Amino acid sequence: MPQDTLPRWQKVIGVVAVLFGLLTLFKSGGILFDMGGAKVAAGAYVPFVVQFNFVAGFFYILAGVGIWLGRRWACPLSGLIAASTLLVAAAFAFHVSQGGGFEVKTAGALAVRAGFWAVVAIVLRRTRR
């Protein structure tokens, strides 16, 4: 679909996704690269979750640009982001069940991320029909 015919809500979702990706890169990158003492401030963070989030941030940006431009591949990419986030959430739950250290906010953040991308994928798929 040409960009000039995209509904406004789709452009808004694209911008939100890009901003979400930039924020994700900033926060997870700060922990990974210990910028400004972010590791200490993060508390009992789970390294594989932070690493996943950092990589996922690039895909959030890519998906957001695809959504903004009305690219068909943005829908399956959004679904893939949601599914992979759910897999990481399951691994996180296993980590917690085995007594691993964690921050409660991590569970909430994973739920928000998976929920956001699942809703985006569903809405994009329904509007493509």
What pLDDT score was predicted for residue 80? Answer: 98
| Count of alpha carbons within 13 angstroms of residue 104, beta-carbon side | 0
76-107 confidence digits (pLDDT tens) = 999 999 999 999 999 999 999 999 999 999 99
CA gap 44, 63 in Å, rounded: 30
Q: What is the mean pLDDT of each run of 10 residues along the chain (129 residues)?
A: 78 98 97 94 96 98 97 97 98 98 96 98 90
In the three-class reduction of DSSP (H, G, I as helix; E, B as strand; rest coil), residue 6 is classed as: coil
Closest CA to 90 of 104, 102, 115, 107: 107
What pLDDT score was predicted for residue 5? Answer: 83
What pLDDT score was predicted for residue 4? Answer: 67
